C-alpha cells in the first residue's frame, strides 16, 4: 500500500498524547480540518521540518487555524525529548509499535504530512520537507522564494 493520496478518505483513529489524553480524529474533524504530521525523533528531515510547523502553528495570521497533530513513531520519553529540543508545543500523539496508524495511512517515509478536511477527505498528502505543502498548511505564503531554504528536502 502506498501513502494515502489526495481525495482518499482518511482512516479514523484514536491515539494518546504525551499526557495520556486521548485524541480521536473523528471528534476533531467535527470542528474542522486537522493537519497530521507523522515523524520519528531521529529523522534529520523531521528535525528540520517540525520547527517550521511549530512557527506555522503559532502564527496569528492562521485564522481559523486547523490544529496540527504530530504523530510520533517513538515512545513517550523520546517524543518528549524531541518536543523539548525543537520547541514543539502543538499536540504530539504516540503511534506505538507496530505503528497501526502509520500503517493504515500507508507511510513509507517520514515526515509524512496530511491535511484532512472536516468531511474526512485528504486534501494534502506529502512527505519530506516541501515549502509548498507547508505554505498550504499555513494558508498563506509562509516561506518566501529568497529565504535561503530549499524548496524541498527528502525524508
CB contact at 8 A, 62 and 6: no
CB contact at 8 A, 19 and 96: no
Does the N-terminal peptide bond of residue 131 adopt cis geometry, omega within 30 degrees of 0?
A: no
Examine residue 100 and state whether it is found in any structural domain, yes or no.
yes
Q: Give dist(CA 79, CA 76) in Å, integer.
A: 5
Examine residue 119 and state whether it is found in any structural domain, yes or no.
yes
Examine residue 1 and state whether it is found in any structural domain, yes or no.
no
**Which cell numbers hold the place of 111?**
515526515
pTM above 0.85, yes or no: yes
User: Domain of 70: which CATH number?
Assistant: 3.40.30.10
**Which cell numbers hold the place of 64?**
481559523
Domain count along the chain: 1
**Which cell numbers hold the place of 67?**
490544529
Query: pLDDT tens digits, residue range 61-118?
Result: 876 689 999 999 999 999 999 999 999 999 999 999 999 999 999 999 999 999 999 9
Strand blocks (E) in 44-89: 68-72
Examine residue 117 and state whether it is found in any structural domain, yes or no.
yes
Q: Give dist(CA 73, CA 147) in Å, integer.
A: 31
Examine residue 52 and state whether it is found in any structural domain, yes or no.
yes
**Strand 68-72 to 92-94 pairing:** parallel
Query: pLDDT tens digits, residue range 6-50?
Result: 999 999 999 999 999 999 999 999 999 999 999 999 999 999 999
Amino acid at each position: 500500500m502506498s501513502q494515502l493520496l489526495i481525495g482518499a478518505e482518511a482512516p479514523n483513529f484514536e491515539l494518546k498524547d504525551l499526557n495520556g489524553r486521548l485524541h480521536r480524529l473523528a471528534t476533531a474533524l467535527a470542528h474542522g480540518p486537522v493537519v497530521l504530521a507523522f515523524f520519528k525523533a531521529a529523522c534529520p528531515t523531521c528535525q528540520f521540518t517540525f520547527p517550521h510547523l511549530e512557527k506555522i502553528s503559532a502564527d496569528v495570521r492562521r485564522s481559523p487555524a486547523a490544529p496540527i497533530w504530530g504523530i510520533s513513531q517513538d515512545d513517550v520519553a523520546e517524543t518528549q525529548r524531541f518536543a523539548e529540543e525543537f520547541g514543539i508545543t502543538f499536540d504530539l500523539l504516540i503511534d506505538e509499535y507496530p505503528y497501526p496508524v502509520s500503517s493504515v495511512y500507508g507511510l513509507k517515509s517520514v515526515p509524512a504530512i496530511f491535511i484532512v478536511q472536516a468531511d474526512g477527505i485528504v486534501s494534502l498528502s506529502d512527505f519530506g520537507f516541501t515549502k509548498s505543502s507547508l505554505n498550504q498548511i499555513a494558508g498563506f505564503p509562509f516561506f518566501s522564494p529568497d529565504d535561503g531554504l530549499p524548496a524541498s528536502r527528502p525524508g
